[in-house]
Every structure is written in structure tokens, then in C-alpha cells.
Chain A
């Protein structure tokens, strides 16, 4: 099983990206977690550019999602919502509406911030957006507050509760993907 991991943050020292690096360590046997690095090169959404073939970076992104069995997001919170770059990529991913690559795709959302609430509102926003796109939004829910104290840039986590939370979220996503594979 192949899971695409998408961080909503672009900066090198992102806690969210670090959490996704750590996620790879939690992957059960047979599950491969690939961290997507292409968010920064997705152009601004413009319907005039949404043609076939589309912008190279967009076509590559859509193909990655299409080939993945599930997608795991970790997002920071900007102004009570998700980062613009992430929303922009999802807007590309949501087209064409009826047959977009996220439709029925199992997805999990976690969030992290240096503050106390762990980006919980961004997590809720992202779940709403993904639901509207037709994704299969799992029950997995994890908001990592004070993330700078819990994860290193390399994705090393010593907090056992956080490791367990990540593992549980991943397992929820894997289960959803297996359920889908059984009927799709």
C-alpha cells in the first residue's frame, strides 16, 4: 500500500513536515509512506490553465494522488485556516469536479503548531475542504500543540503518546484504504 504524505508547510524546519517524516517510522509492514515535496512549485489556480495537458507540476501532483492508495495530511494553521499554498494545490486537485483524483480517496488529517491548540481549526477546515472534494475523510484526528517541544526537524519523536497518536491515525487511514480496496 502506498500512502502519499502532504505537509501544508513549505519551510525547511516545519513541525508538520517533521511529523510526516516520523510517520514513516510508524508505517506497518507493507505500507510505504512517501513525502510529497512538490507543493512549492504548484502554480496559482487559473481555470484558463486547467487544460490537457495541464501545468507539469499539477499533472505530476494529480498522478501521484491517483497512484496512491491514501493521502495523509499534516497542516499548520494560518489565520484560523489552512495555508494558501495547500488550498491552492487542493483546488487544482479538485478538478475536474466529478472525476477528480481525490474522489473517494481515503484521507487523514492531522495538524501541528507551536501554540497550545495544535492547529485544530486548520485541521477542521482541511477536513471540510477534502469532504467537499469528495474524498473519504477518515475519523483520524490529532492536533499537536507545542510541536516544537515534541518533534525534531528530522522527525524524531520521544513523546510516546504522540508516537501512538500518529500510529493510530495512520492505522485508521490504512483500514479505510483496505475497506475501499475490498469494494472498489
Chain B
């Protein structure tokens, strides 16, 4: 018997806040022959009456090498000094079974662009402490050059080292707030 109680399907109304311990915001971008990844751990997200929104402090960016973090914070990339926050705001979430689709807008480095988010949803369900939770695994792709991030370096074969298409991922656990 599961300790998690299924309560209802669909996107709930009310206010839900991200449990950031059990959530993650990350990015992936092609680099040379592989994929470069990182996270932005200082973020917040909320679901209010079916609309998802979130923001992250880019200064918290984490990759596996601190010198690369410094480059990502520099004007070549996020320009964190001038633009410390990246954000997302979405319209109503369209749910079809376990899949979701959200039309929204992403703002990075002072530029806002439309974004289509796709992914899956789990819940709402009541957890073992009685809290009502809903989980999302979301993903979107964006062109970093549209946000003024044009840095690159040519490889010996003439190709560019860093891809322009960045995948943003958000694994969110949101907890219902007391009315």
C-alpha cells in the first residue's frame, strides 16, 4: 500500500510553492563533442490558479569548474552584475493525462522571448506528512544568441565549440499553501 494518496487529476487552483530541496533548475548546451551542464540552485517557483511562474538568481550558477562559473556570470554570457535574475511566467497549463504544455515567456539578460514548455506532471498527491504536492518535469529549448549570448570559439575543424541551442530543465515539486 502506498503512503501517497492520489487526490485528484488536473491542474489545481490555489497557491503552490516550490519545495526547492526537492526541485532543480538546470541547463544543457552542446560543447565540442559532448554536452555541458549546470544548475541554478537559488530559485523560486509558484503555481497560482493554474499559472506557473519562477525566477532564479544567476549568481548562484553552478558548473563543475569555478573559472567557468566566472565566465558564465560575465558580460560574455549572463552579465549577472547588470541582470541578476532570470525569470519565467506562463499562461494556463494544458494537461493531457501525464503530459503538460505551457506557453510562456522567458526573460534572460534583459531580453524576453516567448517559450513553449513541455513535460510531464505527477499528482497532486498527499505525501507522508500530509502535505499536498504536485510535481512537474519540464523542458524547453532556446537560442542563446537571441538573449545576447554570442560567445563562441572556432574548433580546428571550422565548427564552433559551443552550440546555440540551450535546453532548460526544471524538475519542480510544488506544495499547496494553506488558504
Contacts and interface: CB of A to CB of B under 8 A. Distances in A.
A183 B82 CA distance: 7
B151 A183 contact: no
Given A131-B151, A179-B82, A103 B70 contact: yes
- A: interface residue count bin: 10 to 19
Interface residues of B, number: 13
A82 B88 CA distance: 42
B82 A134 contact: no
B32 interface: no
Contact of B81 (A98, A104, A132): A104
Given A183-B81, A184-B81, A98 B76 contact: no
Nearest to A135: B75
Interface string A102-118: 01100000000000000
Interface string A41-77: 0000000000000000000000000000000000000
B111 interface: no
Nearest to B75: A136
B131 interface: no
A137 interface: yes
Interface in B5-64: none
B69 interface: yes
A150 interface: no
A134 B75 contact: yes
30 contacts: A97-B67, A97-B70, A98-B66, A98-B67, A98-B69, A103-B70, A103-B74, A104-B74, A104-B75, A131-B74, A131-B75, A131-B76, A131-B151, A132-B71, A132-B76, A134-B70, A134-B71, A134-B74, A134-B75, A134-B76, A135-B74, A135-B75, A136-B79, A137-B75, A179-B82, A180-B81, A180-B82, A183-B81, A183-B82, A184-B81
Interface of B: 66-67, 69-71, 73-76, 79, 81-82, 151
Given A134-B73, A134-B74, 16 more contacts: A97-B70, A98-B66, A98-B70, A99-B70, A103-B70, A103-B74, A104-B74, A104-B75, A104-B81, A132-B76, A135-B74, A136-B79, A137-B75, A180-B81, A180-B82, A184-B81
